Amino acid sequence: MTEHFLANHAGDPKRLDRVLRDRYPNASRHAIQELIAGRHVQVNGRTVWLASWKIIGGDKITIAEAPATLPVPLDTFDPAWIIAELGDIIAVNKPAGLLSEPARRDDRGSLLELANSALGPVTLFHRLDRDTSGVLLLTRGGSINQRLARAFSRRAVIKEYVAEVTAPNRLDAEGTIVTRMNTDPQRRDRMVVVSKGGQLAVTHYTRIDDPAGRSWVRLRPDTGRTHQLRVHMAHLGAPILGDILYGDRDSAPRLMLHSHKITLPVDLFGEGAFFTAPLPTEFAPMP
């Protein structure tokens, strides 16, 4: 639904993204940045795609639709999130929409903060994007951190994700994606595939055939680059549904990416050391 309003601030010109954040205080920064970068904002009838565009009082701003609002922040650790405890490792099932750790000094309600309050001092050993759900490992500190770090560095920890992607697509039955990735010079909140420089990113995938016409993949990253799975799926022309940065945010009610299973090497805790997070209800039915 198209919305119109007049900038009503006085004094010096104000950045467009700041004006929109004042207008929609419950919207996420990403949603506002995506709205502007996607050329869905007009100022006095002219399409504007720069967040830094200067707005003066009385300017008429037109947007295609209001930006998505942030979910109500969680303020309590739910014991049901705990999947299992194995020695000094705690595996938890992180909900979508919850930060793994504070991104800024004034952030509140991250998984790490909530876990520290409920479980005592713990360390976040790795991260998931805010909108990704699933298995995440916490540790109680000590030698386990060094042992886990060595296991991750030699790629002995196997992480498996499930995602629903755009359909139809041209994904093979299975494959390995090998690229180099770097920060998008035009948008610091995004990553891009580059021909040189950057960091190596490797993802194995298997397509899951769905007779209902939906398209699913199992993803196993060898490396852990920022947004790696989201970028790699978009790179193959099959962006993950609900992805506000690399796909269509309106294609699903959330980012359809879930950390389903983490398997630890035998030399850490012996055979059978794995943790699984059940698929969220949004993923059902899935073949």
DSSP label of 283 = G
Quickly count: other Cβ atoms within 10 Å of residue 133's Cβ: 25
Give me the residue label for tokens 């939906």: 214
Q: Do 275 and 261 meet the contact criterion of CB atoms below 8 Å apart?
A: yes
Mean pLDDT of the chain: 90
pLDDT of residue 270: 65
pLDDT tens digits for 81-109? 999 998 899 999 999 989 999 876 545 57
Which residue out of 22, 75, 78, 129 is catalytically annotated? 129
Give me the residue label for tokens 């909530």: 114
**Sequence spans of domains, the chain:** 3-63, 79-283
Active site residue 172: no
DSSP result, 11-41: SS-EEHHHHHHHH-TTB-HHHHHHHHHTT-E
Q: Do 287 and 209 meet the contact criterion of CB atoms below 8 Å apart?
A: yes
CA distances from 217 to 10, 123, 194, 283 (A): 51, 30, 24, 12
89: its two tokens: 């490792």
pLDDT of residue 9: 76
Distance, CA of 140 to CA of 121 (rounded, Å): 7
Closest CA to 261 of 81, 83, 80: 83
Give the chain's residues under pLDDT 50: 106
120: its two tokens: 């005592």
Closest CA to 40 of 3, 91, 77: 3
- Domain 3-63 part of CATH 3.10.290.10: yes
Closest CA to 37 of 26, 21, 52: 52
Report field, pTM of the whole predicted structure over 0.85 = no
Closest CA to 7 of 68, 69, 54, 40: 54
pLDDT tens digits for 113-166? 999 999 999 999 899 999 999 999 999 988 888 989 899 888 899 999 999 999
Q: Do 10 and 22 meet the contact criterion of CB atoms below 8 Å apart?
A: no
Interacting residues of 111 by C-beta distance below 8 A, sequence separation 6+: 92, 94, 98, 99, 100, 101, 124, 136
Q: Which residues pair with 217 in a beta bridge?
A: 163, 207
DSSP label of 66 = P
CA distances from 253 to 14, 97, 143, 191, 242 (A): 32, 11, 41, 23, 6
Fold of the domain built from segment(s) 79-283: Pseudouridine synthase (3.30.2350)
Give me the residue label for tokens 């060898």: 222
If DSSP codes are grouped into helix, strand and coil, which group holds residue 268?
A: helix
